[in-house]
């Protein structure tokens, strides 16, 4: 099976690439030279400066991409050799730190966890750019209603069909780390069908929901402070991420 190769003399970029690959558990080979490559090298991750020096047909200039993550996505897509998929399903396990997975033509290409519901939109956009298809679906678990609805409302402008699916029994064994459980649940969700979302969904702004956001803020700030009810309401409505809310409150102290 073909694998990724990494070649660059830019130490800082090399470090960032390797860190990104290890974080996602993607196999790679560090290359001392772009010549006489091992046969198993399918795509090379490199820099803009060194890009044209590499004769290998499939390569990605990492520092020309929006992020290391996007560059890796692009390299993985090139590695499959497919320019257009028949069907792509993006699964989302909603929560304060959502799990996301992309399944292309019934093959799981990747799964990950993002830091907040607000990060889902940029990640989904990235998937849509990397994996063009004839048919695309976004499928999201029915739980964690507040976060679920915030995510759905952010995705509606993409004009991609969104389905809410029953995520009961999608979460794997408790022995695994939470980040792994959430991303694996997202992979299962991607394969399920559900009810189509027709319009934006209401965001619950009850006192209990506000208190919940305040509790999370207290946990994230390690007990140093709690965001105000007004700011917590902005988080609930998706106007601020929880991290932005913490930064805002911190400045006002």
Predicted model pTM: 0.71
What percent of the chain lies above the pLDDT cut of 90? 36
What is the topology classification, in CATH, of domain 3-80? Answer: Rossmann fold (3.40.50)
| pLDDT at residue 140 is higher than 70 | yes
Task: Give me the percent of the chain exceeding a pLDDT of 70.
Answer: 95
* pLDDT for residue 245: 84
* CA dist 41 → 20, 53, 71, 187 (Å): 18, 17, 17, 27
Lowest mean pLDDT, pick from 72-76, 98-102, 197-201, 238-242:
238-242
Closest CA to 204 of 163, 145, 245: 145
Give CA–CA dist 136/129, Å, rounded: 12
pLDDT digits (tens, 9 = 90+) for 30-57: 999 888 888 899 999 999 999 988 887 7
- 137-165 burial, b at 16+ Cβ within 10 Å, e below that, comes to bbbbbebbebbbbbbbbbbeeeeeebbbb
Inform me whether the pLDDT recorded for 176 exceeds 60.
no
φ, ψ at 89 (rounded to 5°): -120, 125
Write down the pLDDT at residue 107. Answer: 84
Average pLDDT over residues 62-90: 87
Band (pLDDT 50/70/90 cuts) for residue 173 is: low
Instruction: Tell me the pLDDT of the chain averaged across its residues.
Output: 86
| pLDDT confidence bin for 124, thresholds 50/70/90 | very high
pLDDT in tens, 204-223: 777 888 888 888 888 888 88
Domain definitions of the chain by residue range: 3-80, 85-196, 207-252
The fold of the 85-196 domain, in CATH, is Nucleotidyltransferase; domain 5 (3.30.420)
Mean pLDDT on 57-75: 87
- Which of 101, 198, 87 has the alpha carbon at shortest distance from 140? 101
Say whether 85-196 and 3-80 share the same fold. no
Using the predicted structure, report yes or no on whether residue 143 has a pLDDT greater than 90: no
Q: Which of 119, 29, 30, 118 is nearest to 69 (CA)?
A: 119
**What is the pLDDT at residue 175?**
46
């Amino acid at each position: 099976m073909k694998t990724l190769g990494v070649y660059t003399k830019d130490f800082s970029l090399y470090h960032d690439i390797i860190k990104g690959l290890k974080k996602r558990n993607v196999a790679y080979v560090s290359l001392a030279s772009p010549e006489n490559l091992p046969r198993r090298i399918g795509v090379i991750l490199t820099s803009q400066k060194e890009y044209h020096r590499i004769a290998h047909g499939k390569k990605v200039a990492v520092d020309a991409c929006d992020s290391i993550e996007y560059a890796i996505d692009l390299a993985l897509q090139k590695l499959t050799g497919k320019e257009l998929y028949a069907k792509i399903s993006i699964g989302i396990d909603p929560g304060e730190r959502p799990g996301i997975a992309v399944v292309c033509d019934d093959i799981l290409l990747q799964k990950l966890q993002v830091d907040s519901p607000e990060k889902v939109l940029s990640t989904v956009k990235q998937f849509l750019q990397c994996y063009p298809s004839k048919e695309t679906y976004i499928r999201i678990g029915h739980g964690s209603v507040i976060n679920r609805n915030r995510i759905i409302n952010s995705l509606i402008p993409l004009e991609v069909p969104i389905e809410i699916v029953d995520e009961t029994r999608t979460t794997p064994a408790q022995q695994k780390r939470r980040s792994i459980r959430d991303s694996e649940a997202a992979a299962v969700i991607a394969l399920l069908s559900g009810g189509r979302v027709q319009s934006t969904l209401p965001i619950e702004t009850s006192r209990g929901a506000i208190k919940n956001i305040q509790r999370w803020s207290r946990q994230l700030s390690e007990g140093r402070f709690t965001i105000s009810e007004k700011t917590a309401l902005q988080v609930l409505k998706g106007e601020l991420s929880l991290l932005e809310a913490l930064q805002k409150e911190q400045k006002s102290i």
